[in-house]
Protein backbone atom coordinates (compact mmCIF):
# COMPACT_ATOMS: atom_id res chain seq x y z
CA UNK A 1 0.00 0.00 0.00
CA UNK A 2 1.50 3.36 -1.02
CA UNK A 3 2.42 5.69 1.71
CA UNK A 4 0.86 9.18 1.55
CA UNK A 5 3.57 11.73 1.94
CA UNK A 6 3.14 14.92 3.85
CA UNK A 7 3.77 16.99 0.74
CA UNK A 8 0.96 15.24 -1.17
CA UNK A 9 -1.37 15.75 1.77
CA UNK A 10 -0.37 19.43 1.84
CA UNK A 11 -1.01 19.81 -1.89
CA UNK A 12 -4.40 18.10 -1.59
CA UNK A 13 -5.37 20.31 1.34
CA UNK A 14 -4.26 23.44 -0.52
CA UNK A 15 -6.18 22.36 -3.63
CA UNK A 16 -9.34 21.73 -1.61
CA UNK A 17 -8.96 25.10 0.14
CA UNK A 18 -8.57 26.93 -3.19
CA UNK A 19 -11.49 25.02 -4.71
CA UNK A 20 -13.67 25.79 -1.70
CA UNK A 21 -12.72 29.47 -1.81
CA UNK A 22 -13.48 29.61 -5.55
CA UNK A 23 -16.85 27.95 -5.01
CA UNK A 24 -17.82 30.39 -2.26
CA UNK A 25 -16.56 33.40 -4.23
CA UNK A 26 -18.27 32.47 -7.49
CA UNK A 27 -21.60 31.74 -5.83
CA UNK A 28 -21.53 34.89 -3.68
CA UNK A 29 -23.15 38.27 -4.36
CA UNK A 30 -20.42 39.29 -6.82
CA UNK A 31 -20.10 35.90 -8.48
CA UNK A 32 -21.82 34.15 -11.37
CA UNK A 33 -25.40 35.25 -10.51
CA UNK A 34 -24.30 38.89 -10.45
CA UNK A 35 -22.52 38.43 -13.79
CA UNK A 36 -25.67 36.96 -15.35
CA UNK A 37 -27.77 39.82 -13.95
CA UNK A 38 -25.33 42.39 -15.37
CA UNK A 39 -25.40 40.79 -18.82
CA UNK A 40 -29.21 40.82 -18.75
CA UNK A 41 -29.15 44.50 -17.74
CA UNK A 42 -26.71 45.29 -20.57
CA UNK A 43 -28.99 43.55 -23.10
CA UNK A 44 -31.98 45.58 -21.89
CA UNK A 45 -30.02 48.84 -22.09
CA UNK A 46 -28.80 48.01 -25.60
CA UNK A 47 -32.39 47.38 -26.72
CA UNK A 48 -33.49 50.67 -25.13
CA UNK A 49 -30.63 52.50 -26.87
CA UNK A 50 -31.67 51.03 -30.22
CA UNK A 51 -35.27 52.13 -29.65
CA UNK A 52 -34.18 55.63 -28.67
CA UNK A 53 -31.93 55.86 -31.73
CA UNK A 54 -34.90 54.95 -33.95
CA UNK A 55 -37.04 57.57 -32.20
CA UNK A 56 -34.33 60.19 -32.70
CA UNK A 57 -34.09 59.37 -36.40
CA UNK A 58 -37.87 59.58 -36.79
CA UNK A 59 -37.92 62.99 -35.07
CA UNK A 60 -35.03 64.25 -37.24
CA UNK A 61 -36.98 63.26 -40.35
CA UNK A 62 -40.10 65.00 -39.01
CA UNK A 63 -38.10 68.19 -38.32
CA UNK A 64 -36.60 68.03 -41.81
CA UNK A 65 -40.08 67.68 -43.35
CA UNK A 66 -41.29 70.70 -41.38
CA UNK A 67 -38.22 72.71 -42.38
CA UNK A 68 -38.70 71.89 -46.07
CA UNK A 69 -42.47 72.53 -46.13
CA UNK A 70 -43.70 75.84 -44.60
CA UNK A 71 -47.34 74.85 -45.10
CA UNK A 72 -46.87 71.67 -43.10
CA UNK A 73 -44.99 73.68 -40.48
CA UNK A 74 -47.89 76.14 -40.15
CA UNK A 75 -50.40 73.29 -39.80
CA UNK A 76 -48.29 71.67 -37.09
CA UNK A 77 -48.00 74.91 -35.15
CA UNK A 78 -51.72 75.65 -35.45
CA UNK A 79 -52.63 72.14 -34.33
CA UNK A 80 -50.30 72.11 -31.33
CA UNK A 81 -51.15 75.62 -30.15
CA UNK A 82 -54.86 75.33 -31.06
CA UNK A 83 -54.68 78.48 -33.20
CA UNK A 84 -57.46 79.56 -35.53
CA UNK A 85 -57.27 82.12 -38.31
CA UNK A 86 -59.82 84.94 -38.31
CA UNK A 87 -63.01 83.84 -40.04
CA UNK A 88 -62.42 80.12 -39.56
CA UNK A 89 -65.04 78.01 -37.85
CA UNK A 90 -64.04 75.28 -35.46
CA UNK A 91 -66.30 72.37 -34.53
CA UNK A 92 -65.52 70.43 -31.40
CA UNK A 93 -66.78 66.87 -31.37
CA UNK A 94 -67.26 64.86 -28.22
CA UNK A 95 -66.57 61.18 -28.93
CA UNK A 96 -67.87 59.63 -25.70
CA UNK A 97 -69.37 56.22 -26.30
DSSP string spanning 61-79?
A: HHHHHHHH-HHHHHHHHHH
CA torsion angle 37 39 41 47 (round to 10): -150
* Residue 62 resides in a domain: yes
Percent of the chain with pLDDT over 70: 94
Q: Enumerate residues 6+ apart whose C-beta is below 8 A from 66.
A: 72, 73, 76
* Residue 16 resides in a domain: no
* Residue 93 resides in a domain: no
Count of domains for the chain? 1
pLDDT band at 5 (very low <50, low <70, confident <90, very high): confident
Average per-residue pLDDT for the chain: 88
CA 4 to chain centre: 57
* Residue 14 resides in a domain: no
pLDDT band at 1 (very low <50, low <70, confident <90, very high): very low
**Which structural domain range is residue 64 located in?**
29-83
* Residue 33 resides in a domain: yes
* Residue 35 resides in a domain: yes
Q: Would you say residue 17 has pLDDT above 80?
A: yes
* Residue 74 resides in a domain: yes
Regarding pTM above 0.85, the answer is no
Q: Distance (Å, rounded) from C-alpha 88 to C-alpha 81?
A: 15
Overall residue count recorded for the chain in this entry: 97
* Residue 38 resides in a domain: yes
Amino acid sequence: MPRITISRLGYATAFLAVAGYALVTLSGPKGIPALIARRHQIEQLEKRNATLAQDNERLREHIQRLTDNPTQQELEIRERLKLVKPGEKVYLLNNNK
